[in-house]
Chain A
Amino acid sequence: MSRAPSEHEMPTQARMDLRAARARRARVAKRIGVFVAIALVLVIMLFPFYWMILTSLRTQVDNTSPVPVWFFQPTLENYRNVIAENNFLRFTWNSFVIAALSTGIGLVLGLPAAYSIARYKQNGLALAILVARLTPYITYLVPWYIAFRALGLIDTFLALTMTHLIVGMPLIIWIMISFFEEVPIELEQAAYVDGASKLGTFLRIVLPLSMPGVVAASILAFIFSWNQFLFSLVLSGPNTKPVPVAVFNFISYGSIDFGGLGAAAVLITLPVIVLTLLIQRYIVSGLTMGAVKG
């Protein structure tokens, strides 16, 4: 490819054809290999989800068959049972309230902090939030439990919202720092010249310009609160139990209803997947605390 071959090494037409055919065949083989490899990766990634859905649509007899039943008449009976018999709507509502409240408060506290870190280069504060990300969640749980118990706050939305704030707020701050950094400082300076206050400038100019980031950060914080298990496991009770804990208890007591388990798993995961599709660009950036830009 790099140099023109000299006369004496120039192959005959036949040899050139042969070589071209061989190269073409190698290319086709490689393309098929790549295609098969990609398909295999996808199948492995999707299989547990596929199995979850199959389990949710099968009867208990089919689910406990020693040989997996791949083809069957799907039934919605499991969903009906989970929703009707297990207070599922109540748990879903609890999850929703905790996730919405903690995300809302996380925004109120986190947005100004992120703006401040971006505008005044407060790297120490950014580092503190990173350390919070390093600390195992369970470290907070023993002191929290003792404190909440003393205050009579176990099994209250207040306690769960406060603890879920630790999940959402750092995410919000971390994502929003880079959004706020991108707002041109000239816009803010122009506002100051017109007599706007710093708070007014932040609320009326910077924030509206960063709306896509706010939406992404809110959804991510909501998803993480929705998925949170450890805090809720210890601090929730009959009044506030969110779905993940409810589903976990579901298997701890009594015989396992496979179909019901599958249906519950599908029902918890579905909202998360829908939300993920809305903000897919920001998921990895959020999960890596900004180490990877979306």
Chain B
Amino acid sequence: MKRAMEFFDRHAALLFPLPALLAIVLLIVGPVLANLVISMYGWSIGRAPAFIGLDNFVEALTSRRFWNGVRNTLYFTGLAVPIQLVLGMGIAVLFHRNFPGKGFVRTIMLLPMVATPVAIALIWALMFDPSLGVLNYFLESLGLPRSLWVADSSIVIPSLVMVDVWQWTPMVALILLAALQGVPQEYYEAAEIDGASGLQAFRHITLPSVYGAIIVALILRSIDALKTFDLIYVITGGGPGTASETLNVYAFRAGFEFFRAGYAASLLIFLLFLVLGIAIFLNLLRTRSR
């Protein structure tokens, strides 16, 4: 027992993280590498796989459905994230003051991001319903025309973005609110003495001070928006047709609805490169601006 302890102490830096490392290799690294292999096979789940080299990648790159998925993924992310940053900034500035019930309000802000995504998606699906949904009732009350929302292939992605914005803007706001708390109040007092307007103070004090936090929020939200699955799959299943089929949803369908494991694996490699590429690009943005 004593000798075992001595052995452990000598190698503590390796033995402490070893179990977690093994789990990571087995459950994360292994599957990612396995995907590289699987992607080179024509592999229908349940049948014998056949080696076909890069055929899956060629098929993806020449298929319209793949490019439709790429377009939808970028459209969804490119629309959702900027809206979340702008609204999140507005909410952060709005809530960065003392008012009664501030603690309570901050608690409320956590609810959209922790609530079970499937439940959230289902409730929004009910609200989107073209004939019975409450959203159309609101539109009519405001004197606006009814909308088909997610049933209309031309606005299905903006509609889904609306849900994503509802769900994740509070997180962006909380990140920026934490950053705002680090800005010394004296800066604003000095600006006021020098006669700066509120807008000028925002541009020259608030924005530069929370720039780092904005980039962090941008990176985190972009990565997660590119990977959005639950929301889209539950509300539209990628439809109508393939109008809201992102790369993620397309890969899922290829793998688990059409059971083409090899092809799905090749799609996932593209998705992985897309996410990593954008993450690295955004991170460069951060380090270069320092």
Contact = CB atoms under 8 A, between A and B. Distances in A.
Given A38-B99, A109-B23, A136-B268, A115 B113 contact: no
A213 interface: no
B119 A247 contact: yes
Interface string A163-190: 1011001000100000000000000000
A276 B110 contact: yes
B52 interface: no
Interface residues of A, number: 96
A265 B34 CA distance: 36
Given A137-B227, A146-B38, A288-B216, A169 B20 contact: yes
A162 interface: yes
Contacts of A266: 119
B264 interface: yes
Give the interface centre of B94, B109, B119, B166 by most chain A CB atoms within 10 Å: B119
A120 B13 contact: yes
B32 A140 contact: yes
Contacts of A229: 117-118, 229-230, 234
A112 B255 contact: no
Interface stretch (A8-16, A17-25, A47-55, A82-90): A47-55
Nearest to A95: B116
B27 interface: yes
A165 B111 contact: no
A52 B16 contact: no
Contacts of A129: 24
Question: What band does the interface of chain B fall in when counting residues whose beta carbon is under 8 Å from A?
Answer: 35 or more
B99 A162 contact: no
B220 interface: yes
A199 B123 CA distance: 49
Contacts of A227: 114, 116-118
Nearest to A267: B119
Contacts of B13: 116, 119-120, 122
B175 A284 contact: yes
A197 B5 contact: yes
A256 B15 CA distance: 53
B256 A68 contact: no
By DSSP majority rule, is chain B's interface helix, strand, loop, or mixed? helix
Contacts of A142: 31, 35, 38, 255, 261, 264-265, 268
A287 B173 CA distance: 13
Contacts of B19: 108-109, 112-113
Contacts of A258: 126
A226 to B, nearest CB: 7
A132 to B, nearest CB: 5
B56 to A, nearest CB: 12
Give the interface centre of B30, B116, B265 by most chain A CB atoms within 10 Å: B116
Contacts of A199: 5, 8-9, 12
Interface string A241-279: 001110110010000001001101110110011001100
Interface stretch (B63-71, B74-82, B151-159, B269-277): B269-277
A193 interface: no
A149 interface: yes
B45 to A, nearest CB: 7
A143 B105 contact: no
A138 B124 contact: no
A230 interface: yes
B106 to A, nearest CB: 7
Contacts of A67: 137
A230 to B, nearest CB: 6
Interface of A: 1-2, 34-35, 37-38, 41-42, 44-46, 48-49, 51-52, 55, 63-68, 108-110, 112-113, 115-117, 119-120, 122, 125, 128-129, 132, 134-147, 149, 162-163, 165-166, 169, 173, 197-200, 202, 223, 226-227, 229-230, 234, 243-245, 247-248, 251, 258, 261-262, 264-266, 268-269, 272-273, 276-277, 280, 283-284, 287-289, 291-293
11 contacts: A119-B13, A125-B21, A141-B255, A169-B20, A197-B5, A199-B9, A200-B5, A202-B16, A262-B126, A288-B220, A291-B220
